[in-house]
């Protein structure tokens, strides 16, 4: 085995510059491929995780983009099967400029009961009650903007009302499901709206309910919609996973776009690697002839040449995939793609997927030139290099 490895290593150094450029090309493509395949996987992860949360999302039935009265929670809390209810009011905002978007949401103290996966500590809850300007921020959003607990920041409305609000970051949210959340007190948001001359209505973008058990969710959703059937703002209740899936479908077929880009990346690498392999095999025709004359079988020669292709693909895959894992294993925000929920994570599974793809593409690129080379007789090979 050592001799085979030595021969592969020697052949790779025959034209070192071309070998390095080919490896770097495969590495760059592998990096891009690793990140791309992680996008749909990360979205699937968010939706899958939401399927077990026992939460129902309530929106306006006739116009999902319209608000709901926050007082609906009073009636919902009296229904059997309800563990907790909270009204959520969103505030699209920016930090320093429009390139720093923050999807802030205001909620009451019931938020910790509806979202136990926020894992809010008792100290965070007490801090929120003490400081009206308090904000609890997801770990990825904190890392993205370099915020720290205790920082005072000012956010500005992304709309045309020019509203500004100042917050004190009192806690960091470690939830993997909502790492981009900027959570503030809803009464502070409503007071700021009133001070800026916006409609003085106790409205909610949506209302979120946590059921007592999975068995009661379907019945509870039906009961809520029937209760508000003849109101001014009728409701449409769905599970959290269905709401996230619906939101993803509204922004287009991301999965198809990502897979199409992955295919383009793979085909590009295949063409580049194939061109490099053709030149590599052409330079080694005389070596192939000598090996065949010395008694090496065609399969042994092919194994050596494919070994060189595999080494180039493997090195390129490692150089490209491992940095992607290192950079994005902690997650990066997907921004508006999930309304501030979820993130993009590169996992070891996606890294291995990309590494295998780089190896396979590199091997495929050598099939035609290598099979042609091993079919050449030793005498013909020597005449070709004369």
Which residue has better confidence, 297 or 84? 84
CA distance 280 to 242: 53
pLDDT of residue 166: 93
Q: What is the DSSP string of 80-115?
A: TTEEEEEEEEEEEEESSSTTSEEEEEEE-TTHHHH-
pLDDT of residue 215: 85
**Is the pLDDT assigned to residue 261 strictly greater than 70?**
yes
**Is the pLDDT assigned to residue 15 strictly greater than 90?**
no
> Average pLDDT of 90-97?
87
- Average model confidence (pLDDT) for the chain? 81
Q: What percent of the chain shows pLDDT beyond 90?
A: 11
**Is the pLDDT assigned to residue 116 strictly greater than 50?**
yes
pLDDT band at 248 (very low <50, low <70, confident <90, very high): low
* Strand partners of residue 57: 208, 238
CA distance 313 to 303: 15
**Is the pLDDT assigned to residue 263 strictly greater than 50?**
yes
Report CA-CA distances (Å) from 61 to 121, 202, 229. 35, 18, 9
**Is the pLDDT assigned to residue 47 strictly greater than 50?**
yes
For 208-297, where are the alpha helices, taking DSSP H only?
Answer: 217-227, 240-250, 254-283, 285-293
pLDDT-wise least confident of 20-29, 59-68, 282-291, 356-365: 282-291
> Average pLDDT of 138-167?
87
> Average pLDDT of 213-217?
86
**Is the pLDDT assigned to residue 97 strictly greater than 90?**
no
pLDDT band at 249 (very low <50, low <70, confident <90, very high): low
With H, G, I as helix, E, B as strand and everything else as coil, classify residue 383. Answer: helix
**Is the pLDDT assigned to residue 296 strictly greater than 60?**
yes
How far is C-alpha 65 from the geometric centre of its chain's CA atoms?
A: 25
pLDDT of residue 131: 84
How far is C-alpha 373 from the geometric centre of its chain's CA atoms?
A: 44
CA distance 45 to 193: 35
**Is the pLDDT assigned to residue 161 strictly greater than 70?**
no
pLDDT of residue 386: 47
* Strand partners of residue 152: 168
CA distance 195 to 63: 27
**Is the pLDDT assigned to residue 2 strictly greater than 60?**
no
CA distance 385 to 91: 72
* pLDDT tens column, 175-213: 666 778 899 999 899 888 888 877 767 888 889 999 988
pLDDT of residue 224: 92
**Highest mean pLDDT (candidates 243-252, 301-310, 319-328):** 319-328
- Can you read off the two tokens belonging to residue 199? 């409609």
**Highest mean pLDDT (candidates 15-24, 97-106, 315-324):** 315-324
Residue carrying structure tokens 């009204």: 87
**Is the pLDDT assigned to residue 384 strictly greater than 60?**
no
Question: Residue 193: enclosing H or E segment and its boundaries?
Answer: helix 186-195
Angle between the N-to-C axes of helices 240-250 and 16-50, in degrees from 0 to 180, rounded to the nearest 10 = 130
> Average pLDDT of 97-117?
85
pLDDT of residue 167: 94
Q: Please provide the distance, in angstroms rounded to a whole number, between the alpha carbons at the two ends of the chain.
A: 32
| Residue 136 backbone dihedrals phi, psi, to 5 degrees | -110, 125
* pLDDT tens column, 329-368: 777 766 555 555 567 778 888 899 889 988 888 888 888 8
pLDDT band at 147 (very low <50, low <70, confident <90, very high): very high
> Average pLDDT of 318-338?
77
CA distance 206 to 199: 17
């Amino acid at each position: 085995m050592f001799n085979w490895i030595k021969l592969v290593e020697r052949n790779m150094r025959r034209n070192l510059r071309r070998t390095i450029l080919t490896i770097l090309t495969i590495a760059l493509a592998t990096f891009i491929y690793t990140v791309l395949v992680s996008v749909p996987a990360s979205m699937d992860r968010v939706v899958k995780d939401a399927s077990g949360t026992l939460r129902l999302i309530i929106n306006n039935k006739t116009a999902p983009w319209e608000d709901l009265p926050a007082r609906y929670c009073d009636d919902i809390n009296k229904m059997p099967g309800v563990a907790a209810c909270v009204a959520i009011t969103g505030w699209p905002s920016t930090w320093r400029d429009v390139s720093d978007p923050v999807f802030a949401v205001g909620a009451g103290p019931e938020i910790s009961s509806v979202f136990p996966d926020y894992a809010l500590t008792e100290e965070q809850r007490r801090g929120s009650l003490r400081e009206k300007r308090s904000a609890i921020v997801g770990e990825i959003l904190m890392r993205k903007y370099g915020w720290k607990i205790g920082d005072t920041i000012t956010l500005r409305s992304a709309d045309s009302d020019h509203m500004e609000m100042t917050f004190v970051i009192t806690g960091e949210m470690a939830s993997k499901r909502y790492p981009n959340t900027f959570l503030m007190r809803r009464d502070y948001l409503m007071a700021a709206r009133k001070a800026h001359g916006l409609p003085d209505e106790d409205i909610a973008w949506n209302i979120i309910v946590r059921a007592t058990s999975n068995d009661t969710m379907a019945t509870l959703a039906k009961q809520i919609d029937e209760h508000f059937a003849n109101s001014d703002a009728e409701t449409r209740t769905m599970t959290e996973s269905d709401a996230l899936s619906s939101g993803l479908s509204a922004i287009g077929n991301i999965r198809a776009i990502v897979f199409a880009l992955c295919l383009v990346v793979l085909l590009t690498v295949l063409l580049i690697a194939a061109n490099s392999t053709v030149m590599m095999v052409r330079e080694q025709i005389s070596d192939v002839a000598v090996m065949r004359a010395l008694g090496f079988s065609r399969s042994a020669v092919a194994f050596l040449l494919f070994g060189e292709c595999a080494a180039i693909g493997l090195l390129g895959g490692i150089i490209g995939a491992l940095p992607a894992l290192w950079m994005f294993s902690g997650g990066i925000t997907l921004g508006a793609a999930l309304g501030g929920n979820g993130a993009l994570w590169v996992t070891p599974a996606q890294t291995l997927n990309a590494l295998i793809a780089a190896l396979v593409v590199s091997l495929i690129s050598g099939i035609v030139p290598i099979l042609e080379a091993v079919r050449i007789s030793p005498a013909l090979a020597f005449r070709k290099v004369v």
